[in-house]
Amino acid sequence: MTTVHEIAPDVFRLSTYVPPIGMQFNQFLVKDDEPLLFHTGHRSMFPQVREAVATVLEPGRLRWLAFSHFEADECGALNAWLETAPQAQAACSQLGALVSVNDFAVRPARGLGDGETFTTGHHRFRFVRTPHVPHCWEAGLLFEETDGTLLCSDLFHHDGDVEPVTESDVVERAQRTLAAYQAHPLKAQYMPYTPQTERILHGLADLKPRRVATMHGSTFVGDGGQALRDLARVMKETLG
């Protein structure tokens, strides 16, 4: 079952917990003049995620289908959404559009440059190019400038069927998950650590987000800038 919670004004977290894997898969829906969905979810999850979207708005109204990087939970259901919403367009990094998305998708994507902004009506978004953060060379994140929500993909990933929103320390949760993954024969190197990782995380911290909305785990509400700086330290200690 996919649950729906409003985490910020007109920003909804759609969350599906998968017990065999032990983690949540979250999408973020922005209700606006040009509705936006961040993460499409897996193709296999499309029917239930579509039902969840329908509790907030008519799915055919979606205008933007945004995501960080080319991976099944990020954009596996992209074509199903493009078929559902005739006016919808994928939005990703310029590199992502070039190397993967425009070949995969039934319609061309809007390739976003670093620092490029666009509005959906009341909400204004800034695209931040973040190569290999969380992973993949074409990665990028969206910062919703109106209310200060960072749509951060896999950053702060923590396992479990956790609460939709928390003011508790998600860095400690993320540290435990990173350490466990590093010790796992299949999950090791889940997040790479490069010479640019710390700089990118500190650049995100400088945006001073009031919320960090992670794909796997609770949305953190509080000093997002400090949380990102703490995450940079943890990633360096655990992965660097």
**Nearest partner of 197 among 134, 142, 154, 149, judged by Cα:** 134
The proportion of the chain whose per-residue pLDDT surpasses 70, expressed as a percent, equals: 100
Calculate the alpha carbon distances from 140 to 38, 58, 73, 113, 135 in Å. 12, 27, 15, 9, 9
- Average pLDDT of every residue of the chain: 97
Element (H, E) at 174: helix 170-182
CA dihedral 193, 195, 199, 204 (to 10 degrees): -30
How confident is the model over 106-116, as a mean pLDDT? 98
pTM for the model stands at 0.97
Determine the pLDDT at residue 118: 98
Determine the pLDDT at residue 94: 98
- Digit-coded pLDDT (tens) for 165-205: 999 999 999 999 999 999 999 898 899 999 999 999 999 99
Cα-only R_g, the chain: 16
Query: How many Å apart are CA 72 and CA 75, to the nearest integer?
Result: 5
Q: Is 28 exposed, middle or buried (0-12, 13-18, 19+ CB in 10 A)?
A: buried
| 3-class DSSP state of 109 | coil
CA–centroid distance for 104 within its chain: 20
Q: Is 144 exposed, middle or buried (0-12, 13-18, 19+ CB in 10 A)?
A: buried
With a cut of 90, say whether residue 9 has pLDDT above it.
Answer: yes
With a cut of 90, say whether residue 55 has pLDDT above it.
Answer: yes
| 3-class DSSP state of 172 | helix
Query: How many Å apart are CA 21 and CA 14, to the nearest integer?
Result: 18
Beta bridge partners of 117: 126
Say which CATH architecture domain 2-239 belongs to.
4-Layer Sandwich (3.60)
Query: How many Å apart are CA 63 and CA 51, to the nearest integer?
Result: 17
**Confidence tier at 240 by pLDDT (50, 70, 90):** confident
